[in-house]
Amino acid sequence: MSDQASLRRRLKELLIERLKFEDLTPDDIGDDEPLFQGGLGLDSIDALEIVVMLESEFGVKVKNEAAARGAFRSIASLAELVEERTGVEQIKTS
């Protein structure tokens, strides 16, 4: 599995754990599936939990809603944000 695929899978696992999606597995969430507005149907409380998760797991801080708007679109865009801020190699070894 590539670094990018590993990161995306890890993000899916964290979302399921943090948001308590007990009936979902990582394979149920598409990389480009919308997280909000349809798709998984997340809400603003879930957005806060994603912000907390990104900071605690990856050290990535999201300053405001404007910064989150694009990055929180899907698992793929979340992974891009983490890659951009940390680099996949750092995540792989942490």
Partner 1 sequence: MTYSPSSWLDFLPHQIPFRAASAARRVDEKTMEGLYICSADDGLFEGVVPISMIFEAMAQLGGGVAFAESKSQGWLSAIDDASVDAVLEAGDIVHLRVELEASFGRIFRFRGFGFRQELEFARAKFYLAEPLGGSL
- Quick check: 70 binds partner 1 (CB under 8 A)? no
Does 40 bind partner 1 (CB under 8 A)? Our answer is no
Q: Are 8 and 75 in contact (CB under 8 A)?
A: yes
Contact 43, 36 (CB under 8 A): yes
Give the residue, chosen from 2, 44, 93, 94, that forms a contact with partner 1 under the rule CB under 8 A. Answer: 44
Q: Which of 1, 2, 27, 64 binds partner 1 (CB under 8 A)?
A: 64
Contact (Cβ atoms closer than 8 angstroms) between residue 14 and residue 57: yes
Q: State yes or no: residue 45 binds partner 1 (CB under 8 A).
A: yes
